[in-house]
Amino acid sequence: MNYAVILPVLNPDEKFTNFVQELVRSGFETIVVVNDGSSSDYDHFYDDAAKNPQVIVLKHEVNRGKGAALKTAFAYLADNRVDIDAAITCDGDGQHSVASMKDCLNAYEEHEGYVIIGGRDFDDKNIPSRSRFGNKVSSFVYKFACGIKLKDTQTGLRVIPARCFESFSALKGDRYEYETNMLIEIVNRQIPYLEIPIETIYIDDNASSHFNPFKDSMKIYGVILRYFIKFIISSIASWVVDIGVYAILEFALQNKMDLGTRVLICTIASRVISSVFNYILNRKGVFKSVDNVGSTAVKYYILAICQMGASYGLVYFFTHILHVKGVVELIVKCVVDLCLFIFSYNIQRRWVFKNKK
């Protein structure tokens, strides 16, 4: 197979030069270097790299971010190199070894068409504590919010099939959040992916990294949690519709029928209308499902009925066991419904609106 190496680079040093030479010696015939707006003081590093016939240097006039650099490289390959079967993205500062790159490419040979992700061992003692903690947290959040099961969510070492170049070049995000968008796109499009272990390298406690722990982390978590935040907003909006419809019907039907009948009609009508409203919001606004309405609606209402039954059963069980009433009973219900709310989000993401197409 014919592979391209993609190196997004900003203000390089000698490690970049050494790494490029190692790639050339290792037999890589296409190395796409993206100068992401480096100062003119660093031009000689790119000039030296371009002396190798295997190296193509693309340039951003201003710093746009790692994500923008990756998108520039994908767009270049999609438009100019139809001979490339896949590209491997990596860092240009020596954080990824050629041996690890070859392990990822060997895995791609066995699983052609997969996205191969090189995952570091974050239990390794050489990993800086802040990186170890950050990755443990993000790994949990990725799995909960997006269904992405990875040990290393922050790795830049990935093999991308050529069929993804065009779509990946159009993804949102210009900085480190772009790599998160890439993972979400993989899951949403159901592109198969495989994580393999790679060598863990941290040079000078990762001092050469341009990652801003606060600013870039906030962008990444914003991307990861956007579906759950939209789910919360959708639920609140549906609750407002439920209360609003109930109030309107209650006012319209007042003095026209007995209390029991009026409450029953108002409750059923408001719940039906708000559930349809919530289904539409979740299908199009939250999970962006392209599956047909019939199958997703059936699953949605099966889940709703089960959730309602579970709420009743659990509240009854805990209040009976704990022998509580009044405010404490209300607290029990709030806790139960909150847990079911989180459970419902995951079931809707993984089953109701899975996007099988």
Q: Tokens in use for 58?
A: 């693309």
Domain boundary among 186, 211, 236: 211
For residue 344, is it left (φ>0), alpha (ψ between -120 and 50) or beta?
alpha
Considering the domain architecture, whether residues 140 and 238 belong to the same structural domain is answered as no
Considering the domain architecture, whether residues 245 and 169 belong to the same structural domain is answered as no
Considering the domain architecture, whether residues 207 and 231 belong to the same structural domain is answered as no
Considering the domain boundaries, does residue 218 fall inside one?
Answer: no
Domain boundary among 211, 233, 257: 211
Torsion of CA 324, 325, 328, 332, to 10 degrees: 70
Beta-carbon count within 10 A of 209 CB: 17
Q: What pLDDT does residue 208 have?
A: 47
Considering the domain architecture, whether residues 206 and 254 belong to the same structural domain is answered as no
Domain boundary among 211, 243, 268: 211
CATH no. for residue 206?
3.90.550.10
Domain span holding position 87: 3-211
CA-based torsion, 118, 124, 127, 132: positive or negative: positive
**Structural domain total, the chain:** 2
Mean pLDDT, the chain cut into blocks of 10 residues (357 residues total): 93 90 93 93 93 95 92 95 94 80 94 91 65 70 73 85 93 83 83 86 52 57 75 91 88 80 85 92 86 90 90 82 73 85 86 73
What CA–CA distance (Å, rounded) separates 222 from 50?
A: 37
Considering the domain architecture, whether residues 237 and 307 belong to the same structural domain is answered as yes
Q: What pLDDT does residue 354 have?
A: 78
Considering the domain boundaries, does residue 220 fall inside one?
Answer: no
Q: What pLDDT does residue 127 have?
A: 65
